Amino acid sequence: MTTTTALSHVDRMAKRAAGFQPSPVRAVFDISMQPGMISLAGGNPYLPVLPMDRIATMAGEVLARRGLEALQYGSGAGTEELQALICQVMELEGIKTAPENVQITAGSQMALELVTKLFCDPGDVVIAEGPTYVGALGVFEGFQAEVAHVAMDNDGVDPDRLQEVISGLKAAGKTIKFFYTIPNFNNPSGISLSLERRQRVVDICRAEGVLIVEDNPYGLLAFDGEAKPALHTLDPDNVFYLGSFSKIFAPGLRVGWVVAPQDVRGRLQIASEATTICPSVLSQLVVEQYVSGFDWRGQIAAYSAVYAARCQATLDALASHMPEGTLWTTPSGGFFTWVTLPEGIDTERVLAAAIEAGVVFVPGSAFHADGGGTNQLRIAFSYAQEEQLTEGVKRLGEAIRSV
Amino acid sequence: MTTTTALSHVDRMAKRAAGFQPSPVRAVFDISMQPGMISLAGGNPYLPVLPMDRIATMAGEVLARRGLEALQYGSGAGTEELQALICQVMELEGIKTAPENVQITAGSQMALELVTKLFCDPGDVVIAEGPTYVGALGVFEGFQAEVAHVAMDNDGVDPDRLQEVISGLKAAGKTIKFFYTIPNFNNPSGISLSLERRQRVVDICRAEGVLIVEDNPYGLLAFDGEAKPALHTLDPDNVFYLGSFSKIFAPGLRVGWVVAPQDVRGRLQIASEATTICPSVLSQLVVEQYVSGFDWRGQIAAYSAVYAARCQATLDALASHMPEGTLWTTPSGGFFTWVTLPEGIDTERVLAAAIEAGVVFVPGSAFHADGGGTNQLRIAFSYAQEEQLTEGVKRLGEAIRSV
């Protein structure tokens, strides 16, 4: 064996480390901090809607009353009280499950990391909507899983297309581990899977032996307040459900969860303990207070009202400023709309012109593992004020015309 | 291809999932919650030493003054202010590094997870002290890394033995990724690597192209208040340093960090973002307050004084109650002492008798990947009161004699 002393750190890394390289998307978030820049990029919740004085009081009380618990190591599963409260939250989407099936994590991103770690060997396939969440693609890449996309129309993934993709992958000898889906107000498309299609998607996956990972951070943020039943309700044994307090409360606490059948939940807990020992107990107790001693349903309605108005301002501005032949989705909840420019317009090139014009967004290619989405882009309307959204879309229109 | 619908969830898991199975150690922690049971098992810090009213005030103020920041997504690296404050903490061990080399994580357990994820392919070898931290063995197993132990004496690992192990592994064609070491008040042994040996260990690893992962949660908890210089000070480019606020402040916040050279730090951040997006911002801001607006050095001294007294009570009780031929370590800091019973006494069998007698501990086999430690056991003296430690060791002595 030759000496290895001359190897760089990068040379010594594991094969999977090739998946941890800086992406162009990361630069967008740095650029969005520049003065005068309007950001349509980041999907941050609009926290000024929270009554901060009450949250501050809550946190002080948690430490004054339960400080020794809040600051000590806790159960690797999460606190029993929060497990039970999460079950109450999920009831709004029709989910009936036992608290012990809930594994609490440091955000639902970590729940996806754990599920992928538990199920995916290198070369295994994950099926995902096209487009899908960029942070999920990062997780799959980190475990050397291949991603196959299923295109969406305005009702979500077409079950016939899902069946074709599964059959094609199996014919090619691939091992499919799960179908990753954001069924409500999809990030980045804003599209929701229609009620009619939900049963068929679940049936196909069950028949084909493909697990479903249902990622649902936005489900309770419907502009009309009507939550759709979760896929989990249709096949609890085959659907792992990921939930989060980041959008219905606050992301800075990092509290999310995964619901999984008992034979999986046990291993998820061991995997979770290997990663963080336990979720932040202080964060969990603050969330307990929020769900048990505060009108959190009213808070969700307050958030949704803000996002509905911002969505409408964005759609109006798109109608005024986009060139002919541009299409966009009309979300009924969540944080995002998805813009499709006429064929041949490269949104990475548009981005460079847009930054010159004082607006940033995330190009569509970021949400595809297969090079798709080059003439598409995501607009996040959750964080910027209505006037900023209007001005930002105007600048975007000018940038598109300049390319 | 045959249909996979009949496969159980476990059948479909990745190969690495075999590493996520319940271990006997887990049961010990459940048993330690039984009424009347004296626990010498868990390495929890003794939080009643903290002035809880002041911490509660701090947290309330953080939210009242900086609530929009505390509750929002933050930088994937951690906050810039905390990165800088962590550099101040590390100066106590002689470390001089730039804030941008600090990656903040949800506890140092997560830092170890990320380093292992970044470097270890299946079959790669991690060298570790024998015995070593059980939670580290879980991480290595989760990435299908093999573990080779280097035995310790009262001055830590013997550099000659380390050299032999490295040479032996290389002769066998193995790829060694790093030497994982807890150089100060090792968990579980309580042993520290002597100053004389530190340079040789660093030199050997540098010469052999083996990275060092220095895990140092206990380094500032020396009973005499004198911190040893970190291995990182001797070779910053080849030593990744893991630090934690769990023992010098509070574990329930889940704030730890890793210092790594810039070419590694960038990828660690991407890997960290894939796992949790960002560390809890609320927790980070509370830690900022603790380090910037509170006598944290005095708090460490207060913690250490409690642990020193408890350690002495434990050592006195061991002298009174252990059978002839029993050896134990004499720690000068940290949470643990390590007991070696006469050959042939199986501490897993002793554990069953001990539970009957009303005391639990962690058997030595838990801290070895190679079946070693069968006549050894760990005593944690950090959490139980002195009278409980005395009584617990007495019950342990009875249990040993009964086997």
**Residue A274 to residue B69, Cβ atoms within 8 A:** no
Q: Is the pLDDT of residue A5 over 70?
A: no
CA distance B253 to B283: 5
**Which residue of A26, A71, A134, A303 is the best one to mutate when testing the B interface, meaning the one whose CB has the most B CBs within 10 A?**
A71
pLDDT tens for B190-242 read 999 999 999 999 999 999 999 999 999 999 999 999 999 999 999 999 999 99
Q: What is the pLDDT of residue B1?
A: 39
**Residue A277 to residue B252, Cβ atoms within 8 A:** no
Q: What is the pairing mode between strands A359-360 and B239-244? A: unpaired
Distance from CA of A315 to the nearest CA of B (A): 26
Contacts of A135 in chain B (CB under 8 A): 273-274, 277
- Topology given in CATH for the domain delimited by A70-293: Aspartate Aminotransferase; domain 2 (3.40.640)
Listed range (B29-33, B359-363, B384-388) with the worst mean pLDDT: B29-33
Q: Give CATH superfamily name and number for A18-49+298-402.
A: Aspartate Aminotransferase, domain 1 (3.90.1150.10)
Q: Please name the residue that has the structure tokens 């538990």.
A: A118
Contacts of B259 in chain A (CB under 8 A): none
**Residue B12 to residue A211, Cβ atoms within 8 A:** yes
CA distance to A313, A317, A352, A354, A360, per residue, from A401 (Å):
21, 15, 13, 10, 16
C-beta of residue A120 within 8 angstroms of C-beta of residue A145: yes
A18-49+298-402 against A70-293: fold identical: no
CA distance B111 to A312: 43
Query: Can you give the C-alpha Rg of chain A in angstroms?
Result: 21
| Cα angle for residues B362, B368, B371 (degrees, 5° grid) | 100
pLDDT tens for A210-245 read 999 999 999 999 999 999 999 999 999 999 999 999
Enumerate residues 6+ apart whose C-beta is below 8 A from A208: A163, A166, A170, A176, B4, B5
CA distance A199 to A220: 20
A212 by DSSP, 3-state: which?
A: strand
CA distance A179 to A177: 7
Among B190, B265, B201, residue whose Cα is nearest residue B233: B201
CA distance B74 to B280: 8
Q: Does domain B53-292 have CATH number 3.40.640.10?
A: yes
| Band (B6; pLDDT cuts 50, 70, 90) | low
Contacts of B281 in chain A (CB under 8 A): 252
Mean pLDDT of B295-314: 98
In terms of CA atoms, which chain A residue is nearest residue B277?
Answer: A109
In terms of CA atoms, which chain A residue is nearest residue B124?
Answer: A14
Among A349, A267, A388, A176, residue whose Cα is nearest residue B3: A176
In terms of CA atoms, which chain B residue is nearest residue A133?
Answer: B274
Determine the residue type at B37: M
Window 365-394 of A: residues touching B by CB (8 A cutoff) are: none
pLDDT tens for A120-139 read 999 999 999 999 999 999 99
**Which residue of B4, B62, B277, B289 is the best one to mutate when testing the A interface, meaning the one whose CB has the most A CBs within 10 A?**
B277
C-beta of residue B72 within 8 angstroms of C-beta of residue A250: yes
Window 72-101 of A: residues touching B by CB (8 A cutoff) are: 72-74
User: For chain A, which residues make up each domain, given as ranges?
Assistant: 18-49+298-402, 70-293
CA distance B46 to B313: 16
The pair of structure tokens assigned to A352 is 């460079």
**CATH classification of B22-43+298-402, choosing from 3.40.50.300, 3.90.1150.10, 3.40.50.620, 1.20.1250.20?**
3.90.1150.10
Q: Please name the residue that has the structure tokens 């926290």.
A: A47
ipTM value? 0.96
Q: Would an 8 Å CB–CB cutoff place B9 in contact with chain A? A: yes
pLDDT tens for A42-99 read 899 999 999 999 999 999 999 999 999 999 999 999 999 999 999 999 999 999 999 9
pLDDT tens for A244-279 read 999 999 999 999 999 999 889 999 999 999 999 999
Nearest CB to A270 within list B20, B61, B250: B20
Phi, psi of B358 (to 5 degrees): 90, 35
CA distance B173 to B170: 5
Q: How far from each other are the two terminal CA atoms of chain B, in whole angstroms?
A: 55
**Residue A283 to residue B280, Cβ atoms within 8 A:** yes
Distance from CA of A318 to the nearest CA of B (A): 28
Q: Would an 8 Å CB–CB cutoff place A209 in contact with chain B? A: yes
Contacts of B4 in chain A (CB under 8 A): 208-209
Q: Is the pLDDT of residue A3 over 70?
A: no
